[in-house]
Chain A
Amino acid sequence: MTPVLSLPFAHLNLRRNPFGEATREERAELAVTSVASLHEGELVQFVGACGRGKTTHLLALSRLHPGAVYERLDEEHRVPRAVPREADIVYLLDEAQFAKPRELARIAARVRTLALGTHDDLAPRLGARPVRTVAVGGIDVDTLARVVDARLRWARRADSAPIPRVPPATLARLLARHGDDVRAIENDLYDAFQSLQEPCDVEL
């Protein structure tokens, strides 16, 4: 049912649920990673399971490399279509494990600076180029706190009024419940924020 209208989440001094879906551009701005710019000619792969931050790393790189091309594969879209023609454009290929080995080798030979997000180690399929492998996962309470703070800042309405907080004890419980599956943690926090009536400490 549609209640009496008010500005969204104004009762929490927020503009939205901080743990709702964000656009790709917003996710790039919200990314909390230690990833550094790629060197020219570097090939790096971010390897990890779902929800551990592979896409976050690639989107963080997209902010560090304006003009970079980001593409995401899936079961129905296995052939990369956005491979840059110019060799000096950075290419960020997400879910790269869906691409055929021959296609990956072709991309690795053609694109000078390349970053991949993948569930599997693709180094054997990338030809003779040296590959830097970054294992993605294993988040700690401090890093999770930074992720949560970034989301709260993004969603905040007025600087002068309080907003809900997620105390360290709650973060620790979420990590104990979900391990390093940040996506699952964000799902729990989404549901928690939906039921808040006023700014307070979130207990889960």
Chain B
Amino acid sequence: MSSSELRIVLDSPTSTFAPGSIVRGEVLARTGDDVRCRALSLDWEWRTHGKGNVQKGKGGKITLVQEASWSPGGEYRYPFQLTAPRGPLTYRGTLLNVDWYLRAAADVPWAFDPKVEAEMLLAPGGESVDILDLGPSWKTPIPGASRPIGAIGAAMIVGFCSIFVAVGAFIAFGGEVGLIGLPFGLVFMGAGLAVMAFGLRSFVSQGRIGLPEVTIEPLMPRAGEKVLVRVRLRPRSSFSLSGIDAKLVGEEVVVKGSGTNKTTHRHTIHHEARSIDPGGRAVDRGAEIVVESTFVVPPSAAPSFAASDNAIAWKVNVHVGVDGWPDWDHDFPIGILPRRG
């Protein structure tokens, strides 16, 4: 049985590299016996760890040597260099961490294959790449893609919820189950109506204030940069405006478990709210309102990341308050890029 030992040593004392930069290091091998190594390879991958399900992504793999012989007392050095990946960047959070790992493995016949793993930190810093990898599920926000629900969306909500209401009514009053079905049926009906009311509130509000036109520029700012939020209203009928607010929100969102044991956990990493119109006035039908405000993304804001069970999600929320009528509220996903190093 081989007693070989491997170690990874990186040139950088902090193990930190910028995307697109050159990662240099060595794999060191020592052994207590004479060992024939068929192949020594190095691969790298990213993994999430924390409260959410572990997810990973491959970086690359290289073979450092084939058919090597190691003797006791010797230290064998195998230098390597590779290009640091485009992302995702290393992240330290409360529910979520994202890390890169270098793994060296030796193929030793008739013995336990020695392996070693070392972290490699990927951080912005004069990177030579223009496009960062923000994770396997990342979708670049498209202007206008986050449109609030229109008539078709409203019809779908009504249709879906009506099924709940109808089933509840049948259970409660259909007579097949008897009185015992009444409370269950009423709960079903109540749930259906509540979901319908919640889902339609913005649509109902639009009937009075019109569909607000929200412009966010840019949709993918860098940390430390400004984001303009402009809201334009052309009311379909007169209404009393109680105020227009906007928020910039960043969250870690992770999923733990699956099936019946699946839970979603959230942790707010940034929350900034401001009033962009104090309201308190009547607005006439057809009278246009255009208001805007500028947020500054914090310089240390975590860049966006998206995998199926783990995400760093940023959004702008816009809220239009209407006296005596449902308010209008909508989230607009944005992406945050890291500061240029």
Residues of A within 8 A of B (CB): 1-3, 5-8, 15-17, 20-23, 50, 72-77, 95, 98, 190, 194
- B285 lies within 8 A of chain A by Cβ: no
Residues of B within 8 A of A8 (CB): 49, 92, 97, 99, 119
Instruction: Encode contact with A along B44-83: 1 for CB under 8 Å, 0 otherwise.
Output: 0000011111100000000000000000000000000000
Are A5 and B121 also in contact (CB < 8 A) when A16-B97, A72-B259 are? yes
Residues of A within 8 A of B89 (CB): 2
Contact in complex: A21, B269 (CB < 8 Å): no
Q: For residue B139, give the distance in angstroms from its CB to the closest CB of chain A.
A: 22
Are A7 and B270 also in contact (CB < 8 A) when A21-B53, A194-B94 are? no
Residues of A within 8 A of B302 (CB): 1-2
Residues of A within 8 A of B269 (CB): 1
Tell me whether chain B's interface is mostly helix, strand or loop, or mixed.
loop
Contact in complex: A50, B49 (CB < 8 Å): no
Residues of B within 8 A of A77 (CB): 259
Contact in complex: A1, B51 (CB < 8 Å): no
Contact in complex: B121, A2 (CB < 8 Å): no
Contact in complex: B54, A22 (CB < 8 Å): yes
- B293 lies within 8 A of chain A by Cβ: no
Contact in complex: B119, A75 (CB < 8 Å): no
17 A-B residue pairings within 8 Å (CB atoms) = A1-B270, A2-B92, A2-B303, A5-B16, A5-B92, A7-B119, A16-B50, A16-B97, A20-B49, A20-B51, A21-B51, A21-B54, A50-B261, A74-B262, A95-B260, A98-B259, A190-B51
Are A75 and B97 also in contact (CB < 8 A) when A2-B300, A8-B92, A21-B49 are? no
A5 to B124, CA, bound (A): 11
Apart from A1-B270, A2-B303, A21-B256: 17 A-B pairs, beta carbons within 8 A: A2-B93, A2-B302, A3-B92, A3-B300, A5-B90, A6-B121, A8-B92, A17-B50, A21-B51, A21-B53, A21-B54, A50-B261, A72-B259, A74-B262, A75-B260, A95-B259, A194-B94
B299 nearest CB neighbor, chain A only: A1
- Among A21, A22, A50, A72, find the residue whose CB has the most chain B CB atoms closer than 10 A: A21
B117 nearest CB neighbor, chain A only: A15
Residues of B within 8 A of A (CB): 14-16, 49-54, 89-94, 97, 99, 119, 121, 123, 256, 258-262, 269-270, 298, 300-303
A24 nearest CB neighbor, chain B only: B54
Residues of A within 8 A of B14 (CB): 5
A8 to B99, CA, bound (A): 8
Residues of B within 8 A of A76 (CB): 259
Q: For residue A56, give the distance in angstroms from its CB to the closest CB of chain B.
A: 13
Contact in complex: B259, A16 (CB < 8 Å): no
Contact in complex: B50, A20 (CB < 8 Å): yes
Residues of B within 8 A of A75 (CB): 259-260
Q: For residue B327, give the distance in angstroms from its CB to the closest CB of chain A.
A: 30
B255 nearest CB neighbor, chain A only: A21
A76 to B259, CA, bound (A): 7
Q: For residue A38, give the distance in angstroms from its CB to the closest CB of chain B.
A: 24
A21 to B270, CA, bound (A): 24
- What are the 6 A-B residue pairs with the smallest beta carbon separation, nearest first? A74-B259, A1-B300, A16-B49, A2-B302, A5-B121, A23-B54
A16 nearest CB neighbor, chain B only: B49
Are A72 and B92 also in contact (CB < 8 A) when A1-B300, A17-B49, A23-B54 are? no
Q: For residue B133, give the distance in angstroms from its CB to the closest CB of chain A.
A: 16
Residues of B within 8 A of A21 (CB): 49-54, 256
A19 to B16, CA, bound (A): 26
A74 to B262, CA, bound (A): 10
A41 to B150, CA, bound (A): 60
A72 to B92, CA, bound (A): 31
Residues of A within 8 A of B262 (CB): 74
Q: For residue A190, give the distance in angstroms from its CB to the closest CB of chain B.
A: 6
Q: For residue B296, give the distance in angstroms from its CB to the closest CB of chain A.
A: 14
Residues of A within 8 A of B303 (CB): 2
Contact in complex: A50, B51 (CB < 8 Å): no
B48 nearest CB neighbor, chain A only: A21
- Among B52, B97, B270, find the residue whose CB has the most chain A CB atoms closer than 10 A: B97
